[in-house]
Amino acid sequence: MADRLESAWLKLDRAHEHRETFSRLGTERGHEITRPWPLSHDPENDEFTLTLGKVPSPKPGLSLVLGDAVHNYRSALDHLAFQLVKHPDRKPREKRTPDGEISFPICASEKTYCAKSIQGAADRAKDEIRAIQPFNLGWDPLLVLKKLDDRDKHRTIHLVTHTISAGFLRNDVLASSWLIGAKTPIKDARVLARWKFRPDADRQADIGPFIGLGFEFAEGIAKGAEVLGVLDRIDYTVRAVIDRLARYVAP
């Protein structure tokens, strides 16, 4: 069984590699944008203000890597479906779906759901595939995966935009401070942080600040969602689906 599903697991592993590449390239891009920090001082109020200047749009290469991750997650499910149909754990009672038409069904509506693409799979496998459909589970990573993959294959690459992913200030030497919140979209010259030192504090102390940059989807079904968070939920779901259905593939 493990050998028959090897290609599905390999596709899943390759998707995760693309996820890691997106994360690495995004981190490098974040460092490129956020250095040096534009810092100003208001002597009247003795307040420091940290701002972020003009932020270039994310490079298209990030969207290509994202599309590669999404497509490999989708392909992992299709490879699973192929093995479920070609090598069911029990002899099928119906004519198998032709090889070129086998795919893992993902459908938002029960009315339009069709198992035609997995005819020949074990009845229990088809029942479980139906049970995990988005129309039974509500908002579901499988539906997001389908729509992201369809868009990347047939429409255009995914547009992403910068967002604040995390922030940190060392507060033990500060009298007051304010830090921009996570998941805040970045705009030109956005104020990132303000602070005042305590009167007895060492003003040369390293207070940070650390501002992490992330990416969110700019449009589509996942608009406004953090890219890596979406990919991680998809990764977990696809992995769980393969694990759950592996028993219905003959050794």
Tokens 């992403």 found at: 160
Residue 54 is assigned to a structural domain of this protein: yes
Q: What is the structure's pLDDT at 57?
A: 76
Q: What is the structure's pLDDT at 126?
A: 94
Structure tokens at 65: 């890597």
pLDDT digits (tens, 9 = 90+) for 232-242: 999 999 999 99
The number of distinct structural domains making up the chain is: 1
Residue 1 is assigned to a structural domain of this protein: no
Q: Say if residues 160 and 63 touch (Cβ distance below 8 Å).
A: yes
Strands (E) across 73-189 are located at 160-168, 174-179
Q: What is the structure's pLDDT at 206?
A: 80
Residue 232 is assigned to a structural domain of this protein: yes
Segments of the chain with pLDDT less than 70: 1-2, 28-37, 138-139, 187-189
Residue 12 is assigned to a structural domain of this protein: yes
**Using CA atoms, how far apart are residues 122 and 130, in angstroms rounded to an integer?**
13
Which residues, including other chains, have CB under 8 Å from residue 224's CB and lie 6 or more apart?
216, 217
Domain of residue 47 covers 6-248
**Using CA atoms, how far apart are residues 249 and 4, in angstroms rounded to an integer?**
8
Residue 38 is assigned to a structural domain of this protein: yes
If DSSP codes are grouped into helix, strand and coil, which group holds residue 247? Answer: helix
Q: What is the structure's pLDDT at 1?
A: 44
